[in-house]
Each structure stands twice: as C-alpha cells, then as structure tokens.
Amino acid sequence: MKLFLSLLFLFTFVLPQPLHAQDNLPNWHMAGANAQRTSWVAAEVNPQQADSFGVLWYRPIEAYIGQHVQLTTGYGNIYVATARGLYALNANTGEVTWRYDTELPLGHSPTVVDGMAFVGGLDRRVYALDAQTGQLRWQFEGAQAGFTTSPLVVEGMVLLGGRDG
C-alpha cells in the first residue's frame, strides 16, 4: 500500500508527462536527492500544471517496503528497496527491468551512481549491483549487524553506517 501511495504521488503530481520527455529533470540518485540529503531539486510543480497530471502506470509489488525507503532514479529506472531485495522498474512503463533477491530485507534506499546501484541490507551485507542489469559486481560481508542507512558515494568510496555502531 505504501509503495502504491508513493508511486501514485510520484506519477500524479511529479511526472505529468512521460519521463523521456523530461530530459531536463535531474535524477534522484540517492535518498534525499543529493549527498547533502536536502530532498530538494530545482524542478517545480505549480498549480497551472494540475490539469495535465495523471497516472502514468501502476505496479504492485508484493514485498514489504520499509517506511523510510525512498524511491531513487537513474538510467531510465526507478529503484525500490524491499524486504525481498532490490527492484529496478522501467520509469516509462513500470515493468520490472530486473530484481535482485536478498536473504533478508534491505535496510534503506539504494544509491545509484556511476552505473552502479549500492544498497545495504539487514543481512549485514552491502551490495554493488550493475544499475542496468542487476548483476552483482561485488558485496561486502564484514559487518557485525545489518545496515539501515542509505549509502553515500564520495570520491570512489561507498560509505554507510551499520547498526553495530
């Protein structure tokens, strides 16, 4: 239900036309839109656009989505972290581009940058997936507890805090 409401809001109020027609809009590559986590981009929605809004597509996802998970975008996809794993949905059609299953739920939103989707899980792993194919490129398994933060990618490093401090 939460995903439905999130997607309904996104496609009703934010994306009044197909994404391919909005090439001038920035992608939302990480939780909070940017490394400062401001949740702000220059694109605006105004009342004059209200008549052009509509649902572009609807895609039910059976897996639970955590309350703090934000949708992220890039490479023509919308990325959704769930209790089942990471989904990449085609931004124009809603079709599942790929899904990467994990043993335990993912802890927060993925960060999509430099052709990769990075996400931490409650299984104490950090996953680095090809953003376009979902193929696992590498994973880190050294944490003592799971990850419930969204990764920050800075100067070639993937940073995120774990539940073990």
- What pLDDT score does 161 carry? 81
Could you tell me the fold of the domain covering 2-35+53-159?
Answer: Lipocalin (2.40.128)
Instruction: With a cut of 90, say whether residue 44 has pLDDT above it.
Output: no
- What pLDDT score does 70 carry? 87
Question: Concatenated DSSP letters for 18-51?
Answer: -GGG-TTSPP--STTSSTT-----S----GGGGG
- What pLDDT score does 45 carry? 73
Tokens at 100, concatenated: 């990467």
CA distances from 165 to 6, 36, 120, 122, 124 (A): 31, 21, 15, 14, 13
Averaged pLDDT score across all residues of the chain: 80
Q: What is the pLDDT of residues 3-29, one digit of tens each?
A: 444 444 444 444 444 444 344 456 666
Closest CA to 148 of 127, 133, 162: 162
- What pLDDT score does 77 carry? 96
Instruction: With a cut of 90, say whether residue 145 has pLDDT above it.
Output: no
Look up the pTM and report it.
Answer: 0.75
Instruction: With a cut of 90, say whether residue 95 has pLDDT above it.
Output: yes
**Distance between CA 51 and CA 29 in Å, rounded?**
28
